[in-house]
Each structure stands twice: as structure tokens, then as C-alpha cells.
Amino acid sequence: MTTSRRKFIKISALGLGGVAATTTALNLFGASSYLDELVRKNVAETFKRTATYCEVCFWKCAAWAYTNEKGEIKKIIGNDDDSHCYGRLCPRGTGGVGMYNDEDRLKTPLIRKTVNGEETFVEATWDEALDLIASKFKTIKETHGAESIALLKHGSPGKHLEHLLNAIGSDTIGEPAYAQCRGPRETGFKLTFGTWVGSPEPTDIRDTKCLVLIGSHIGENMHNSQVQEMSDAIDNGATIITVDPRFSTAASKSQHWLPIKPGTDIALMLAWMNVLIEENLYDKEYIEKYAIGFDELKDHVSTFTPEWAYSITTIKPEEIRRTARAMAYASPATIIHPGRHVVWYGDDTQRARAMAILNALLGSWGRRGGFYFKESLKLPSFPHPEYPKPKWTWKEVSAKYPLAEMGVTNEIIRASIPGENSEYPVKAWLVAGTNLTKAIPNKKLLEQAIESLDFMVVIDTMPMDVTGYADVVLPECTYLERYDEIRSATNREPSIAIRIPAVAPKYDSKPAWWIAKQIGERMGVGDQFAYDDYKEVLEYQLKELGTSFEELEQIGVKNYPRKSGPLYLNENELYSFTTSSGKIELYSQELKDLGFDPMPIFTKHPEPEQGYYRLNYGRAPMHTFSRTANNPNLNDLMDENNLWVNPKVARIIGLKTGQEVWLKNQDEVLSSFPIKVRITERTGFDAVYMVHGFGHQNKKLSRANGRGINDTELISKVAIDPIMGGTGMRGNFVTILTENPHKTI
Ligand SMILES: Nc1nc2c(c(=O)[nH]1)N[C@H]1C(S)=C(S)[C@@H](COP(=O)(O)OP(=O)(O)OC[C@H]3O[C@@H](n4cnc5c(=O)[nH]c(N)nc54)[C@H](O)[C@@H]3O)O[C@H]1N2
Ligand SMILES: Nc1nc2c(c(=O)[nH]1)N[C@H]1C(S)=C(S)[C@@H](COP(=O)(O)OP(=O)(O)OC[C@H]3O[C@@H](n4cnc5c(=O)[nH]c(N)nc54)[C@H](O)[C@@H]3O)O[C@H]1N2
Ligand code: SF4
Ligand SMILES: [Mo]
């Protein structure tokens, strides 16, 4: 295969984007409540409302889509009965209609062809595209086994394609929400309490008296009910402690902001444990009743004094003591928030363990104002024949990491390169709802893998960068134009929510459930898809759940009473945790047996060399990853990212706010585009900061192309978590270039 075979296809340039604006506040909610009210009161009668749940991020808020007589979507409003949104969508959810209206959307299937010696995409009919996919997949299945066909997915399309993959005999599945996101946290908390944290996090923020955020930048991280509950907690006088080298929105709402030296959080947490134990502030009764390994922990942290941590973290010993006492004072209504995007420095499972252990010492797991016991409803599955048993799955591919609990995306990618994992070779990718070049670090490895593939299909709503690598691109219709699986979420009470198309699919786009069925039928597993319309699946499941499609169509969300017992620990009853010992494991024998540290330790991480700054990144309230950059409504609120630079650094380099600069990282990787400087005290002088998700390469994205920098392309170095395979991405360093480096290259 020649190296040009899967060259990224760039398609003609188009116009420019809108006006820049910056807003960062917890109170972005309700910014449109006046309009909401107007719609509710005056137009609700003339407009038709359709039940849906939001797909702009994975909080999955239940909502109503309002359409007028012409069938145009006018507004999306949160469902009042939904515990994910309490009737209000975040700015991104409100702007969700922009996904539907975006004129840059993928409109027809595309097939890669060579025309006049140049590779390009040619428009195709659905039959042509689906026949091609089925025939290629059949060949791969016959030659290598169905296992060699991998699915990389995120979001709602994933479920339908997972069914397709399982139906043809593959379980080689991965998503960036594990090894690039929450993975270490789930593994770390499971080792300690026996359960994943999961989504939405069972943090009892509305009743908390002390919320400790370690890197979690809630307020910029806009997960809906969590932000609303935090806002209420602040109003109710809760103490907020934020540990973040950057002055985040959350830090600005905190009594205590601890501007920690990046990469040293474990040292701070060990010192907090030391204070809680040395000063007898921990919950003795709780620890005696529910935990094992306390003596080992006490011994372990005895030398990790605040004075020891001061030299590592730059946080003063008095501040470490003061904050530890504040947490203990409020306990058990104290939350050490587990964070969510936690793949930072490679020792992330251990950092998550430290958070879990602190929560245990404070007695907050299973306590009001700490963590509640979540509950969800199990969805009955629509009858289908048993899946064939694959010879190997994501588990074997990810086996290098003993406690990986989901497919490790980066390992599936590696297994696609000949010689890297010859036992479990991956030959084709089906990519759905994930923009790999933005979501997965180490672009070189990614491109090498893509280069080696026999076949690559991308299902997306937009001509995102990942589509440029595909052999076949399939246009999915947006969430407002389709049915999807029932949302069954864990929460204080179980609930289900439904997604019904508010309008017919625009252009020649189709829902993922239909695509999966079409490919399945062409591959001879049509009996796995015994329905003509996905509505039939919903009707069946809802009936089994004792309700009906008609009821959900009317109410959108149905809340059920709890069945698993009380929300919090019942102190008079024995409680068994789902760990192997049945107790909270402060000391982990499981880790020890696998050759890992049974209790977290602090290790030093690399520092930037002179002239280089740590590349820090995060979220903006009006955008989700890279998926919203081109959304006309959200692009209007923020059309590019900026580079936050400390005034001291700006002085040394001679930078001005608004000036365009380029970045080069420690491996000589250059940013594709420039970024505008924003000089601010809110970032320290050892790091620069940008919002993730910008710097789009695809020229078909008329508003987002070339605007700002893609942080991911500068993340060429990853620190892999040896326990579960997460890709630590915060150890990359950049230098700032004031001249365009591409002119001379
Ligand atoms: N608006 C919006 N909200 C979102 C999303 C979105 O795309 N847009 N995505 C959602 C998803 S999937 C996720 S996973 C979450 C991610 O949101 P979080 O879990 O809150 O994010 P992180 O990326 O872990 O944290 C970013 C913060 O960590 C700080 N930080 C950097 N290095 C260090 C360090 O060494 N120590 C400490 N203590 N802090 C550090 C940064 O300055 C920044 O403020 O957001 C969710 N919410
Ligand atoms: N450098 C860096 N890398 C990161 C992160 C970071 O902060 N910095 N964050 C990490 C985290 S926490 C996460 S969870 C992941 C997120 O990773 P992804 O979910 O891959 O993030 P996006 O960049 O939004 O890509 C989503 C893709 O799905 C498409 N899409 C949107 N809606 C639909 C739909 O309804 N159907 C289909 N078929 N496609 C759709 C979008 O057009 C886009 O191409 O990224 C991780 N990677
Ligand atoms: S938090 Fe915002 S973007 Fe995410 S699902 Fe809810 S409304 Fe949509
Ligand atoms: Mo995430």
C-alpha cells in the first residue's frame, strides 16, 4: 500500500466565520429563560413539541424540540421532569438546533476514488456505499475473521453499530470516553469502593457542605445538573475548594483556590490524608465499620506532612491544614470530586485512588451531601438471535493493561499496525461519532494505523477531519431527525427518556440504526434486525417496562421509584461493598498482586525546559470538544480558541493580546494554524492554556476551518497508565513562535 493511499482529502475552501465573544460564568444557565418562558406561554400551543434528549454532549438532557407549521425547528427547551437538566439546557443544548441547520453538513454518502490521478470523494447512492461496505467487510471476515473489524465510536450511533458488530461476530470495540477520558477514575474508584463512578456522577452536590474540585473545572465543564447543583450549593453557603494551577471559573467561586504546581496533586492528597489522620479528623466509626487497610494507610502517609508537600506542590502548609480541616468540619457532607477527564500524567488510576481514599476517610461515600447510591433501570433487549462468539475481543487487544474495563482505543489503534499485535490484527475500522484526530493523541501512530488499514468507514453528521481519512463516508442525520435507544440513566431515582424525530432527515442523511440494519442485511445477519422502523424496538421495550410509546411521547421522561434501597447508607444495617473484601479498600491487595503500588505514591513528572511551557487545555461553556466548532449558533458565541499567556511570559517574549502566534512542541511538531494571544494572570507562568476542539483542517467546515489551534496535534507524547491504559496527555510542552513557521518550510 502506498503512503498516499489514504491521504487526508482536503476539499475546496469556503467563507469565514462570525464574531468572537467570551463568556465564562456559572450563571450562563437561564440566560435564555426569558425566551424559554415566551415559548412556553405563547407559542407552545401553536408549535408542535417533540420529546428528545440532547446529543451535544453526553449528559443527555431530556428536552422538547418545538417545530412550527412549516416543520422548522424553532427552539429546544429542557424537560422540567428531568433530573439531568431540571428544565434548563446549557448554552450548548440550546444551540443544538445549529447541528440540524448547519449548511456544511454531510449530505450524501461519499466514496474515495481516484479521478485524474487525484484521490477525491465522489458522491454515491446509499446502495452503492452500503454494497461496497458489506463486500469489503465480508472479504475481511472471510480472510481474517470478523474480529479484525473494529468499531471506534462515541455517543448514540455507537449502540446501533455495536449491535451490528456483535451480530457479525466482533467485539473489537473502543471509545475515547474510556482511555482518553474517565477510564482511570472508574478503575480507581472500583478498586476502592467496588463500583464505577459512572455518568452522571453520583455526587450529592445539592446537599453538600464542602465541594473539593481537583482539576474539575465545573462551570466551564458544563455538565448540566452538576453545574446547577453547584450553583445552589454556593448559594447555600457550601465551602468550595478548587485545586487548579489555572484560575478557573470554579476557582473564582471558591473560598480556597489552591494554585497547585501541575502534576503534583497526589502529593497534596497524601498530605491531606496525613492531616486528617494525624489530627484525628477522619471518620473513625465509618472507617472501622466499612474499611480495611487503615493501619497500612496511616503508616504510609505518616511522613507525607504538609511541609513535605509544600516543597512539591507550592501550596503552603497552613493552607493544606486549613483546607483539610474545612473538609473534615463539613464531613460527611464533603465531596472530593472524582473529576472526569482524568488522563493527565500516566499515574491517573493512582490519583483517582487518592481521591477515593480521601472520600473514605471523610466518610462521604453513601452519605447525604457526599455520594449517593445511584440506581438505573435495566432496559429489556429487543429479541434477537444469540450473537456468535468472537475468538478474541477488545479484552485480548487491551490485555497489556490488566485492569482495563473497556476497549483501550489506543491499543485497538496499535493493533491496526502490522507487527504491533500480530496475534490480534485489526484490518478495518468503522468509526462513528468520534473525530479521532481531535480525540486521540499521538497523531503519528494514528496516521500510521489508518495508513495500514484495508478499509475505513466513517459515519458522521459533519465533514469533520476524521472523514478525510475514510474510504466511505456515510452521513448520519442529527439527533433531532431520528429515533435512538431509550436513555436509561443512573441517578438518585431511575429514569428513562425518549428521542423521537422532530423533523424528517435533511438532505440524503439517515439514522445509524438504519445504517446498521442495512449493512447487517447485506452481510447475511438480517435476522438480528427484525424491525422496519426503530420505533418498533422502542414500543416493545416501553411495553416491557410497563409504560408505552404513547405515554413517553407525551411526557418525554419517566421517573421511577427506587428499588435498590435507600439513597444513603443505613447505619443500622450491615452493608457490603462490591470489592473482593466486601469493604472499602484503602490498601489494595489487588493492585499489590498485580505488581502495582497498593496505596498511591507521589512520582515526579517531567518539567518544561527553558523557553517551553506546559500545554494545558480544557472546556468552554459554549462548546463540546470539536463537534460544535462549526455549529452556526455556538460559533457565533466563540469562533476560535485563544492562547492564555501569563503577563510575565508575555513580557519576556514581547507578546500583545490579540497577536497571532504559532506553537511548536518538544518533538518539533508545529501547530497547523496560528492562535491569538490572550494575556491573563489566570494562568501561571509555567503553562499556557487553550480550549480543546479548535483548529479544524477540513475546508468543508466553512466557519471552523483554520480557526485556532488543535491542542491534540501538539500532544505527541503520552504517558500511558500501566494499570488501565489511559493516555496521559498533560506532559507536553510548547514554545511560542511569533513568525509563521510554515512560510520557511
Ligand atoms: N462545556 C463543556 N463541558 C463539558 C465538555 C465539553 O466538551 N464542553 N466535555 C465533558 C466531558 S466528556 C468531560 S470528560 C469533562 C471534562 O472536564 P473536567 O473533568 O472538569 O476536566 P479536566 O480536563 O480534567 O480538567 C481541566 C482543568 O484541569 C486543570 N489542570 C490542568 N493540569 C492540572 C494539574 O496538574 N492539576 C490540577 N489540579 N488541575 C490541572 C486545568 O487548568 C483545567 O481547569 O467535561 C464535560 N463537560
Ligand atoms: N487533546 C485532547 N484530547 C481529548 C480531550 C481533550 O480535552 N483534549 N478530551 C477527551 C475526552 S474527555 C473525550 S470524552 C473525547 C471526546 O471525543 P469525541 O466524542 O470523538 O469528540 P468530538 O471531537 O466532539 O467528535 C465527535 C464527532 O462525532 C460527530 N457527531 C456529532 N453528533 C453525531 C451524531 O449524532 N452522529 C454521528 N454519527 N456523529 C456525530 C461530530 O461531528 C464529530 O466528528 O476526547 C478526548 N480527547
Ligand atoms: S449538558 Fe448541555 S450539551 Fe450536554 S446534554 Fe445537557 S444540554 Fe446538552
Ligand atoms: Mo470525556
Indicate the residue type of 316: K
Cβ proximity of 634 and 709 under 8 Å: no
Provide the CB-side half-sphere exposure for 230 (13 A, CA): 31
Which CB contacts under 8 angstroms, 24+ apart, belong to 154-158?
154/432, 154/433, 154/434, 154/439, 155/55, 155/58, 155/432, 155/433, 155/434, 156/55, 156/433, 156/479, 156/484, 156/485, 156/499, 156/512, 157/432, 157/433, 157/459, 157/476, 157/512, 158/432, 158/433
Give 299 Cα–ligand 1 centroid separation in angstroms.
33
Res 60: pLDDT: 97
**Residue ID of nearest Cα to ligand 2 atom 26:** 434
Residues with CB under 6 A from ligand 3: 54, 56-57, 59-61, 85, 89-90, 92-93, 222-224
CB atoms under 10 Å from CB of 640, counted, come to: 22
Domain spans, the chain? 1-101+490-510+531-569, 110-172+392-476+511-530, 182-373+577-593, 613-737
The model carries a pTM of 0.95
3-state secondary structure of 1: coil
Determine whether the shortest distance from the Cβ of 216 to ligand 1 is under 6 A: yes
Hey, what CATH topology would domain 613-737 get? Barwin-like endoglucanases (2.40.40)
- How high is the pLDDT of residue 40? 63
H or E segment to which residue 475 belongs = strand 472-475
Please give the class, per CATH, of domain 182-373+577-593.
Answer: alpha beta
Determine the longest span between alpha carbons in the chain, in angstroms. Answer: 78
Grid cell for residue 291 = 474499611
Alpha carbon nearest to ligand 3 atom 6, residue: 61
The pocket around ligand 2, CB under 6 angstroms, is made up of 55, 154-157, 176-177, 180-181, 341, 432-435, 438-439, 441, 459-462, 464, 466, 476, 478-479, 512, 617, 624-627, 692-693, 711-712, 715, 729
pLDDT at position 671 is 98
User: What is the model's pLDDT at position 421?
Assistant: 85
Distance CA 380, CA 371 (A): 28
Closest CA to 358 of 377, 339, 343, 373: 339
- Determine the 3-state secondary structure of 348 from DSSP: helix
Residues around ligand 4, an ion, CB closer than 5 A: 181, 341
Q: What is the DSSP string of 145-212?
A: -GGGEEEEE-STHHHHHHHHHHHHT---EE-HHIIIIIHHHHHHHHHHHSS---SS--B-GGG-SEEE
Report the nearest atom of ligand 2 relative to the CA of 341.
Answer: 12
Gap between the Cα atoms of 385 and 246, Å rounded: 53
Q: At what angle do helices 348-361 and 265-278 cross, to 10 degrees?
A: 20
SS3 state at 744 = coil
pLDDT computed for residue 572 by the predictor: 86
Query: How far apart, in Å, do the first and last CA atoms of the chain sit?
Result: 27
Q: Whose CA is nearest to atom 4 of ligand 3?
A: 57
Q: What b/e readout covers 115-142, taking b as 16+ CB neighbours within 10 angstroms?
A: eeeeeebeebebeebbebbbebbeebbe
Give the strand order in the sheet containing 256-258: 256-258, 239-243, 210-214, 334-336
The 8-class DSSP code of residue 306 comes to H
pLDDT digits over 578-606, tens only?
A: 999 999 999 999 999 999 999 999 999 99
At 325, is the secondary structure helix, strand, or coil? helix
Level-2 CATH architecture, domain 110-172+392-476+511-530: 3-Layer(aba) Sandwich (3.40)
**Strand ranges of the sheet holding 73-78, from the earlier edge strand across to the other edge:** 48-53, 62-67, 73-78
For residue 181, which atom of ligand 1 is closest to its CA? Answer: 14
Grouping H, G, I as helix, E, B as strand and the rest as coil, residue 705 is strand
Q: What's the Cα-to-Cα distance from 640 to each of 98, 621, 695, 710, rounded to whole Å?
A: 17, 13, 8, 10
Closest residue by Cα to residue 676 from 632, 645, 698: 645
Query: Quick one: pLDDT at residue 743?
Result: 86
Distance 339 CA to ligand 4 centre (A): 10
C-alpha distances in Å from residue 345, one per residue of 175, 179, 315, 436: 20, 13, 20, 21
What's the rounded Cα separation, in Å, for the pair 279 and 326?
A: 13
Task: List beta partners, residue 119.
Answer: 114
Residues 268-309: tens digit of each pLDDT: 999 999 999 999 999 999 999 999 999 999 999 999 999 999
Which residues does the chain have with pLDDT short of 70? 1-45, 744-745
* Predicted pLDDT of residue 20: 28
CATH for 1-101+490-510+531-569, options being 3.30.70.20, 3.40.50.2020, 2.20.25.90, 1.20.120.640: 2.20.25.90
Q: What single letter denotes the amino acid at residue 345? A: Y
pLDDT on residue 36: 61
